[in-house]
Amino acid sequence: MKVFDKTFTKYGLEAYPYYYGDDSFGRIIVKISPSDDPYENTVFRIIFKVEHCSVHITEIPLIGYEDKGYGSVAMRALIKHSINKGYIGITGLLSSQDKDHISRLISFYEKNSFDIKINPKRDSGYIQLDLTNPSELLRKLTERITLLENKLEEQKQKEKSLQATIESLEHNIANESKFVKFLKKYF
């Protein structure tokens, strides 16, 4: 088991990606808190096999934490792991079993720099990521992470401003009550 650096989703949620595997098969597992247990605190998994110096994604099981940014955390960890191992690409299939959420999958893979080929029925396809120019790919990922970090910081500032407004209103309401009591007492 190898742990990657703590990271955050686009929503500011803490995430801890791990790699479990050997030279033939592996799993990238994202947890919401650190743990050596492969099942404890797990929110996302990518299961893959290594074939001919490439990674082939075999399964991304849905476990109830979709649309929270954990998938992108897992994919970034898989890409970094694959680059560090010297693999030349990442491939996978979009199964016809995925046809009810194919547009969501296309969006997911596109934002993670994959090339996508969809069949004419638009119910299945093939994904591929070329890792032969890792510096360019890592630059794109770093730009995306920076953009997400900036959006997260903006969101935190908005929340801080909103909290200050709420506190001010609560203070005004409390003081208004004292003023109304004063008026009632003397008028």
- The structure tokens 């890592």 sit at 138
Given a cut of 90, whether residue 56 has pLDDT beyond it is yes
Centre a 10 Å sphere on the Cβ of residue 40 and count the other Cβ atoms it contains: 11
Q: By three-state DSSP, how is residue 23 classified?
A: coil
pLDDT given at position 28: 95
Given a cut of 80, whether residue 175 has pLDDT beyond it is no
The Cα–Cα gap between 47 and 26 comes to 6
As given in the structure block, the two tokens for residue 173 are 């309401």
Given a cut of 90, whether residue 6 has pLDDT beyond it is no
Could you tell me the pTM of the whole model? 0.74
Given a cut of 80, whether residue 147 has pLDDT beyond it is no
Given a cut of 80, whether residue 161 has pLDDT beyond it is yes
pLDDT given at position 129: 93
Residue 145's pLDDT band (cuts 50, 70, 90): confident
Residue 25's pLDDT band (cuts 50, 70, 90): very high
The Cα–Cα gap between 74 and 109 comes to 12
As given in the structure block, the two tokens for residue 167 are 């506190």
Mean pLDDT, to the nearest integer, of 73-90? 93
pLDDT given at position 58: 94
Higher pLDDT, 63 or 24: 24
The stretches of the chain forming alpha helices (DSSP H) are: 70-85, 102-111, 134-186
Higher pLDDT, 74 or 178: 74
From first CA to last CA, the distance across the chain in angstroms is 75
How many residues appear in the chain?
187
The Cα–Cα gap between 155 and 23 comes to 41
List Cβ neighbours of 13 (8 Å cut-off, separation of 6 or more).
32, 68, 69, 70
pLDDT given at position 174: 74
List Cβ neighbours of 52 (8 Å cut-off, separation of 6 or more).
none
Residue 152's closest CA among 6, 31, 11?
A: 11
Average pLDDT, the chain: 86
Share of the chain above pLDDT 70, in %: 96
**CB hemisphere CA count around 58 (13 angstroms):** 10
Share of the chain above pLDDT 90, in %: 35
